[in-house]
Structure formats: structure tokens, C-alpha cells
Structure 1
């Protein structure tokens, strides 16, 4: 089906010089992270192997010998027993009567933000179901904080509650009342709730604009240091866009100083965090051995980001029982990144066409036609794919190889298209760029892995559904693409890469860079609205895969919030990784 018009109803109205932009997914596939803080070393596109560009990616700052030695004693039986005891106490808390409905809402919110949802999933769901079934009178509350918190939690758990609950806080013109400006706690809850809106919910759009403006004003006034910290944290990135494990690290520190802190709940959160950290350490240790043994860290033309890739994968599916997914998908994304860099900066067009042909035929009998580095990458792709196929056959009794190899073919064809744009000097329109770039960002192959590596039973119906790239998968690919372009396009332009969303929009409309960036930022918000609605639909796959889709978007936003945290993962990315892998809580 043609891209134009397929998703036109999802987008903001485009300026008159370009057609309505469809935010399209086509049936084509989706692929790897585009990245990087680097410079172009030559202005001449090469056609032979004698002259090669170099993106000058910074090397990994991780010592793989140290990574292989990471260990923790938090997987010992004594800690597991403590968790079981503390978990029983938490269950009693969740099911106990509270003085007010608000107290139960705040408890559930804290339990989730502490990172304990995976331990108490059934109990939380039962409590939320009870809140929904008994909420008729509760919606009549004139307390903004209570109303907004209830709205957010119910939407988060799959209830399409009406935004009309906020009408009582608006005036005759439909705007939020000015007397709410001093209610910082209520404004903060309204702000967080506004990110759960659907397309066409005007009151939620107004709630977002109103709360954002007045929260920014609030931090300039004399409010308590604790409230200012919370407001700044939310304005930095809303809760709905944050990764659960990253939020847990921050919130545990915050919760410890709250006046109504529950000591056993805090202890459970710290202990659980440390135990999960020990699981991640084992995974990264195994991956470091694989990475060194396979020799891909020697490919100096490409990004060496093994540990960052593991972080991305535990962002997608973080629960400790899914180690197999994280280990195998980290291998996939590491290969995707190297292949992306090979197409972007290293290979000649002749070599890339030959590489693509080998992948499309899934035949390496004539691999010696390629130079050593590119041949090594191709063999690593084949061997790793076969390894994953063997695991799936043994553990799930299903031959996934025909489906997985198709993902690689779609990926490489997309990269080749972008390489041809670069070598020919072609400047794509925004519509033309998105049709390819929604694929080349690398999301679909990772989400595809998230399905078959977490499903208890793989079925053809679900695979066919995933293969068509439904909106719930397409939206994360666009969010990651857009945030990637906002975070990395300046660096990529400097090395001579193809135009990105911002530059394509500028070319299409004549807009300034500031206006173009604002447009792309709005597209992120608009796509989240679509995804929010998608999350309430029924699908032929389980809850783990459904949740992996928004978490994919969150992972991308975590990496690209302050620039290219993937290509140049200093500062925030490094801090996240240190907290996640190296620094346990003191009990």
C-alpha cells in the first residue's frame, strides 16, 4: 500500500508547501539506531575500497575484562528469602483498607515507581480494578491531584476513562481555572496525567500546556526543595516516557526522605533492585566474553557499544526472568549497529550492494568477494542468527529462521537505499525520508525479537501480525527515529550523512531550523497519543510484548534526550549504566 494517506489522520497539519504528512508505516520493516558524535574525514564519496570514510566514533569506555568479572552476592538464597517475606508485607498493604481512596492511589503509584510492579503485578491489578469499579463517586472530587492521579493510573492500566473528569476544573471558555496555579501538587499530577492523552482530546492538550507553563513558573517561586526537585524531574521528562528501572533508581532515593515512607517497602525496593542488578551483571559478563571472542570490537570503523546495547534491551524487557531475550537481542542490536555504520561510512557502494545481495539470498558461498572486515561482519550476522534460530528450535519448537532472516533483508535494503542517497547526493523529501527512515532506525528487528524470545508459545498468527508492522509497533519506530534525529542529526550532517527529519522539513517548507525542530518535537507528542490508544486494543500476543513496544520508545528517548547518548555515551548514559550495573543500594 502507498505510504501517502496511510496514516494521514495521525499527524499535525503540515504547512502548505508539503502534503499532509502520513506518519506512515508501510508494511516494510524497521531497523537500527542511527547515531553519533563524529566528523567526516573526506568529502569525496568513495567507490573503491582504497579510500574509506571514518566516522571517528569515540571508543568504548568499558574495560571488557572488568565487565566479565562483574559479580554480586545478591542472588544468594538469603536475599531471595528476604524478598519473599517483604513481598508478603507489601501485598497486605496493597489489599488493606485505607482512610481515603487517594491514599490507596498514592500507595500504588509509589509501589510502581519503586520498581516493584514485576513482583506485585496481580495484586496491583486487583487494586486498580477495584478503584475503577468504585470510582463513580470518587470522580466528583474537587481535588485536582486526586482526580489526575486516578486518571493516570487507570489509563496506565488499560482503562479508557473519559477526559471529561477534568471539566470541573475549567471555566466557561473551556480553559483551566487560574486559581489552580498555586496548587503545585495538583499541577504536577495534571502534568503527568496529560501524557496519557489520545489524539483529539483537546482538554488533555490544554492540561499539558497549562500545567507545563505553571510548573515552570512554580520552580522560579519559593517552593520547598523537595517539591522543586520533583517538578524539575517531571519537566525534564514525564513519568510516562521514563524507563522503569531508571525511574526506580531515582525514586528510591526520593521515597527514602518522604514523611509517609514505609520502611519495609523501601527495603524491598532496594533489595529487589540489587538482586536484579546481579542478574544484569551476569548477562553483561556473558556478552562481554561473546563480544571479545567474536572479534567485532576490533571493527574500529563502527561503534563499540555492547554495554549500552544491553541497557537498551533491558529497557525493552526488564523483568529478571527474560535473560535469554536480553542476551540474544543485545547480540542482534550490536550487529545492527555495526552494519549500520558499515553502510553509512565504511563500505563502498559496490561492496554494499554485494553485501545486500548475499543477505537477500542468505547465501555466503561467494563471501570471499568481500574485503576482510565486511566479510567478518557478514559471517557474524549469519552465525549469530543461526545460533538464535537453534535456541528457538530447542526451547520453543519453532523454526524462526525464515522470519528472522527476512528482518535482516529488510534492514539491509533500507540501509542500501540511504547509502545510494548519499553517494548520489539525493535530498529526499520528508515524506520520502520517513518511508525509509522509519525502517532504518532499527526498531522492528528488536521488537520482532521481543515477541518470539519472550512468548511462551510462538504462533504463526502472531508472527504474521507482527510482520505487517501494526501501529503499536510502528509508533515506537517513529518515536525513536524522531528523537534520534533531534539528538544526532547535527553530528551526522558534519560527517556527510543523508538528511534527517529536521533538514528534510527545512528543505520542504523553507522553515528555519528552530521551527523545524519544534515540528519534529510535536510529532513525538502526536505519535505518543496514537500509541496510548493502541495500548488499549486487543492483540494476538501477550502482555510482555505489548509492554515492550512503549518501552522501546522510552529507551530511545532515554538515549537521545540530551544529544547522542548512543554514539557518544558519556555523562547521562554512562551514569545510567553505572547505577544499573555497578552501584548497588546500601541496605
Structure 2
């Protein structure tokens, strides 16, 4: 999943960075991590957070009805304005309130819209992206009218930043074989980068905002963006742009919804922190990382909506315990100890405690307790089967950890095929994808869909590939472990360089995104809410591992993200 869920395999040497120090002590590895950045902050901070009042719920519902009236009723004959409003609703993170309205509208657009006479690239590309996001397999050749006789996009489009941004965002919805979108991505990316340089040298302060918007898009296109964080950022942008009454109504609804939902998340984070503190891993397992707040951010990126509160609790606890388990395999365990722990996880019962050394028992007991909690609650709603599947995926992952540990202790560098077969599992995304379904409410998740997800369908394989390769690239040169980069260079001989490996892996990551986009087009193998969990797992990897390992190193932009989502409310309503 990330470097925190992969082993420090291969020949180990003494290494340092700004935060951590790694040395070898006989058959154990010794690494000292910096203390938690957040500590007890959220225990104290959320203690005074009040429940959402009836008046606030009524105000939210009043604004919601006004949005429905202004956007989905009053603008019925203004397709262009409505497209922009639907896009804003999605980017402001409140689309979950209007799923039926948005689906009905986009279905109408798909079935009835004829855009042959539409010469506005911004609108054509926007309509294409919105329909693709909804699962409609709109042909990419709707963009061909903006290309010349050599199948290149017309240079006359370059000066319009809005058109370039719209084309760029549409191009990120590509599936395999869509050369038009491949060309669109190259064309728009290059022109946007050039436009940034032009804007920077123009000495016009009004260009600063546009530079920020373009930079953000180039790093985090909408398709690869974490919804909740994007909403927090887009509220500020939309506040400057909203002029019409319709837009202001949408903005005010988004602000109120963000703040009320933030308070719910604060309470959840308080409860999670209290659970974590009670385990006392900081003292009982001082070699392990203390990252529960960062883990909650990870999972809020998978689902932030209020109806998924139970699922968030389960998945946050599991990802936090996987972090501890990873450190047991990476740092503390001897090969004999790790064999015992692997065997105990396969049993997954209290009888396994007796065979473990003391330092392993506390972690193992916590794992048993969380699954017992899940079983107790799921049995009440006749969904016990989901926990079984989640446990089986955990067993596979720990088996993979042990395989990596054997590589480490035997000083063995696997082939790329051997490495990826194990590393796609130990990356954690098969386990997290399966576990993410356990607490989802309603009838959307059935036993059939658990069977689908544990068989690693293309979308899960793609998200796992993105996770593994982005992690290994960002960690190369700083982590002492067997990684895809080292395996690739070893397999291809002395002529292969780090740049060769990175180039190949970036192609594979791009291919994996095409796979994800393909799997989200109708007809889909499973309902869209299930696919969205896997897509969101890929998105959070893109966010945290694009330029740095933001999980392992706490002194990164992740602190800002946590502040935006869990500490700072958005400003008051716009008049």
C-alpha cells in the first residue's frame, strides 16, 4: 500500500534522514521514528464539539431544496449553465446529496444531446468528462472537431486557459486505445505548463490565482483527486467566481455541509484516537510508528460521506493495525518470531497468543479484538460473511510479509515477476479494498460482490499497481528494502538505470489508470459505490506519493491536509 506497509528487505545498511535513523543490530533491525505530530491533540480538541442541532439540519435541508430548485428545475432549459453547476456541485463535494438528480440529468444529456454543432471546446470537453465520470462510454471522437488535418489539436486553442484546462481534465478519463485523448493529454499538459511561465513573467498579480489553479490541476487532475480535500480547496476558488444567485446558493450549501460534516469527522477522529491511546502501542511497541491520525485521513479519502461512518471506523482500525504489523515484520521480528506470528494470524483465534513472544501479543490481541467487534456488529445485520472475507485477505497479506522477510534474511533479490506477485498483496490494497465493503450500509454490498473483489478484478489489480510502483519510486534512495526499482535494475543488468526503471513504471501507472477508467464505464461488473472505494484508494496514493512519501515523513504537506479537513472550518456563508 505504501512504504509503511512494505518490508525493509534486501541488504541493509546504516542510513539516516531528517526524521529517522536505521541501524542493524544482529538479526533485528532498529529504527527510531519521530514522535507523533498530533499526540493527544484531537482528544482535547474535539471534546467540546457539539452535535449537529435540529436548527442546523433544517437549515441544511432548506438550502438543499433550494439547490434542487435552482439547479435541477429552474435551469432545465439552460444546458450550459446547468453543466457548470453540476460540475461545481461535484467539485464542492456535495454530489452525494443529489445522486438521483445528477444521474437523471446526465442520463438525459447522454440520450438526447447532439453536440455536432457545438464549437466551444470547454463545453464539449466538460460534457465529455461529466458523462465519463458517471460511467457513460462517450466516444472520444467528439473532440476530433478541434484537431487539424494532421490529427493534431489546433494551435489556435492555446491562448484560452479555460479550454486547455477543460481538455486536460477530459483527457484524464482515457481508456486504452484512445489516441485522441492521449494526444489531448500531451497537448494540453504542454500548453498549460507554457502558460504558467507566461503568466509568471507578466508581472500581473491577478494571474497568481490562475497559476495556482493550473499547477493544482497538473499535479492532481480531477480524476485522480481526493474528493474531500478537493472540495476544501475548491470552495475558496468558487467563492471568488460565484456571481449568479444559483451559484451562491450552491456555494452556501457546500460551506454549511462541509462544516457540519467536519464536526462529525472530528468526533470520529476523537473516538479513534481514544481507542488508539488505550492500546498504548507508543509504550508497549516503541519501535512502531504512531500514525493513527494519518490513517484516518487515508480512510476519509476512501469515503467521507456520513452514511459510511461504520465502514470508516472499521477500515481506519485495520489500516492502523496493518501499520503496526508491518513494523513488526520490518523492524523488530526475528525470522523465528515472524514464523510464529504468521502462523498465529492464519489461526486468527486466542489460542495463537500462547505461542507468541510478549511484544507480539499486544498487536495480535488488538487484531483479534477489532475483528471480533466487526463480527458482533455485522451479525446483527446478517452480514457476518463480509468479516470472513476481510480476515482471509489479512491472512494473505501477512503471508506476503513473511515471504518478504525471508528475502531479507536470506539476502535474496527476487525477479520482477516474483516481487510483484508478492508486493501487490503486501502493498495492502487487496486487503483494504475487501475490508472497505464490510461496514457499508444498505443492500449495495452482497456476498457475490465480496467474491468478486477477493478474486482481484482488474480495478483492484490496477489500484494495487499504482500503490506499489508509486511507493517504490518515491522511496527509492531513502529506503533500504527490496523494491521494484532495485529488482528491475538487477534483472536488466548494469545497463539499466534508475531513470529506465522509473520510465517503465510510470508507463505502468498510466496503464493502470486506464484500466480503472475502463472498469468504471457501463456496464460495470459491480455497482458504482463499490468501484468508487477502489478508485478512491488509488486517488489517495496519488495524493500522498506524487512527490514525496507524505505518510512516513510527518513533516510534509499531509499536516496541512489534516488541518484543512479536521481543524479549520470554512468561512461563513456568502451573502
Judge same fold: TM > 0.5, yes or no: yes
What's the offset of the Cα at 1:235? 1.1
Q: How does 1:161-172 map to 2 (within 5 A)?
A: 161-172=138-149
Which residues of structure 1 form unaligned runs of 5+?
1-28, 47-51
Post-superposition CA distance 1:312-361 (Å, at most 9, x none)? 11111111121111111111001111101111121001110111111113
Within 5 Å, which residues of 2 pair with 1:51-62?
A: 52-62=28-38
Matched, 1:205 2:182: yes
Give the one of 479, 482, 487 matched to 2:474.
487
Residue in structure 1 matched with residue 214 of structure 2 by the alignment: 231
Separation in 1, partners of 2:291, 2:345: 24
Output the CA distance in 2 between the equivalents of 1:361 and 1:63: 34
Segment drifting more, 196-205 vs 457-466: 457-466
User: Retained in 2: the 8 A contact 1:31–1:440?
Assistant: no
* Counterpart residue number, 1:270: 255
TM-score by length of 2: 0.91
What's 1:585 paired with?
570
Aligned to 2:81: 103
* Larger deviation, residues 472-481 vs 236-245: 472-481
RMSD: 2.2
Q: CA deviation at 1:401?
A: 4.3
Q: Match for residue 358 of structure 2?
A: 372
Q: 1:382 to 1:372 in 2, by over 3 A?
A: same
Shift of 1:57: 2.1
Aligned to 2:560: 575
CA distance in 1: counterparts of 2:311 and 2:282, whole angstroms: 22
**Preserved contact between residue 145 and residue 189 of structure 1 (Cα < 8 Å):** yes
Residue deviations 1:201-235, cap 9 Å, x none?
A: 11111100010001000111137333222211111
Contact 1:291 1:306 in 2 (8 A): yes
Check conservation: 1:316, 1:548, Cα contact below 8 A: yes
1:539 and 1:167 map into 2 onto residues whose CA distance is 27
Instruction: Name the residue aligned to 2:317.
Output: 331
1:473–1:549 Cα contact (<8 Å) kept = yes
Q: Answer yes or no: is the 8 Å Cα contact 2:7–2:326 preserved in 1.
A: no
Deviation at 1:43, TM superposition (A): 4.1
Which consecutive residues of structure 2, in runs of 5 or more, have no partner in the other structure?
9-16
1:86 aligned partner: 63
Q: Which residue of structure 2 aligns with residue 133 of structure 1?
A: 111
> In structure 2, do the counterparts of structure 1 residues 30 and 579 end up closer, same or farther at CA, with 3 Å as the change threshold?
closer
Looking at structure 2, the residues matched to 97 and 105 of structure 1 have their Cα atoms a distance apart, in angstroms, of: 10
Aligned residue for 1:553? 538
Task: Give the direction of change, closer, same or farther, for the CA distance of 1:35–1:272 in structure 2 (3 Å limit).
Answer: farther
| Equivalent in the alignment of 1:242 | 225
For the residue of structure 2 that corresponds to 1:53, the secondary structure is strand
Q: Is the 8 A contact 1:274 1:584 kept in 2?
A: yes
Whether the 8 Å CA contact 1:317–1:544 is kept in 2: the answer is no
Question: Which residue in 2 is equivalent to 1:157?
Answer: 134
> CA separation in 2, counterparts of 1:526 and 1:346?
37
Distance 1:65 1:215 in 2: 41
Residue 67 of structure 1, CA deviation: 2.7
Residue 404 of structure 1 deviates from its aligned partner by 2.8
SS state at 1:490 partner: coil
Residue matched to 2:449: 462
Task: Specify whether residues 400 and 116 from structure 1 end up closer, same or farther in structure 2 by C-alpha distance, changes over 3 A only.
Answer: closer
How far, CA to CA, are the matches of 1:275 and 1:305 in structure 2?
Answer: 25
Partner deviation per Cα, 1:538-575 (whole Å, 9 max, x = no partner): 45654322211100101111221231111113231111
Call closer, same or farther: CA 1:546–1:114 in 2, change over 3 Å. same
Q: How does 1:446-461 map to 2 (within 5 A)?
A: 446-457=432-443, 459-461=446-448
In 2, the alpha carbon distance for the partners of 1:98 and 1:404 equals 45
Q: Does 1:445 align with 2:431?
A: yes
Residue in 1 aligned with 2:266?
281
SS at 1:42 equivalent: strand
- Say if 2:168 and 2:184, in contact at 8 Å, map to a contact too: yes
Q: Deviations over 1:157-204 (max 9, x none)?
A: 010000111111112221112222212211111101111000111111
Question: Corresponding residue for 2:501?
Answer: 516
1:429 is aligned, of 415, 422, 431, to 415
